[in-house]
Chains A and B, each alone.
Chain A
Amino acid sequence: DTAVSQTPKYLVTQMGNDKSIKCEQNLGHDTMYWYKQDSKKFLKIMFSYNNKELIINETVPNRFSPKSPDKAHLNLHINSLELGDSAVYFCASSHYGAYGELFFGEGSRLTVL
């Protein structure tokens, strides 16, 4: 049973297109995250939701719009894709306030041509 699952795992698209990545967790956690890992492998927080409410919104272009229909799902929609958006996007979940372990999905590798 996959704990945190993301789809799709791979995305190749042209500049200017719009794309979405979906994430679901079955761990009963109330907090979900999107992290971006660039080509240098640096993992950086983008967004966090707690019980469907946005609680963290780092300095991310507003072309990126997260949506959480319920606490088990967190999607990421990206408009007008740019070359610099190429990265691996990781979804993660945890209990709120745990200050500890995050459970990560396997990542969605986005390549913008």
Chain B
Amino acid sequence: EDKVVQSPLSLVVHEGDTVTLNCSYEVTNFRSLLWYKQEKKAPTFLFMLTSSGIEKKSGRLSSILDKKELFSILNITATQTGDSAIYLCAVPPRYGNKLVFGAGTILRVKS
């Protein structure tokens, strides 16, 4: 069965710290891995990593994919209170047009 495991489950840091969120996956026929950020309401898309795009960066956020070891990390540098959210990792399974989500990492950035 396709599986996504995220760690840590929750994290509290101070503004300015750098954080690394982890996502490991087991899926037959890997196609992509996605990161979402969920603040109070809807999850919003951050990055999609594929075999042809294993590293993505947007401002203070960056993500890499290790297809051999079956994991991805999401890095946030110089964290701000606005980074406080749940970060979700997801993969599409071999069959079916859907995403399988991990349980998420709850990040809290204290000022």
Structural contact, B32 and A100, CB atoms closer than 8 A: yes
B72 to chain A, nearest CB (A): 15
Structural contact, B42 and A44, CB atoms closer than 8 A: no
B90-103 near A? 1/0 per residue, CB < 8 Å: 10100011111101
> Which of the candidate stretches A64-72, A77-85, A102-110 sits at the interface with the other chain?
A102-110
**A-B pairs with beta carbons under 8 Å apart, 19 shown:** A33-B98, A41-B106, A42-B101, A43-B88, A43-B90, A43-B101, A44-B101, A48-B98, A90-B42, A90-B43, A99-B31, A99-B32, A100-B34, A100-B48, A101-B48, A102-B45, A102-B99, A104-B43, A107-B41
Residue on A nearest B31 in the bound complex, by CB: A99
Q: Please measure, in the bound complex, the distance between the C-alpha atom of A33 and the C-alpha atom of B100, giving whole angstroms.
A: 12
A64 to chain B, nearest CB (A): 16
Query: Of the candidates A4, A43, A56, which one forms a contact with B96 in the assembled complex, judged by CB atoms under 8 Å apart?
Result: A56
Structural contact, B103 and A41, CB atoms closer than 8 A: yes
A30-47 near B? 1/0 per residue, CB < 8 Å: 010100000011111100
Query: Which B residues are within 8 Å of any A CB, using their own CB?
Result: 31-32, 34, 38, 41-45, 48, 86, 88, 90, 92, 96-101, 103-104, 106
Which size bracket describes the interface of A in this complex? 20 to 34
Nearest first, the 6 A-B pairs at minimum CB distance are A104-B42, A106-B41, A43-B101, A99-B92, A99-B31, A45-B98
Query: Of the candidates B32, B44, B97, which one forms a contact with A104 in the assembled complex, judged by CB atoms under 8 Å apart?
Result: B44
Structural contact, B96 and A48, CB atoms closer than 8 A: yes
Residue on A nearest B38 in the bound complex, by CB: A41
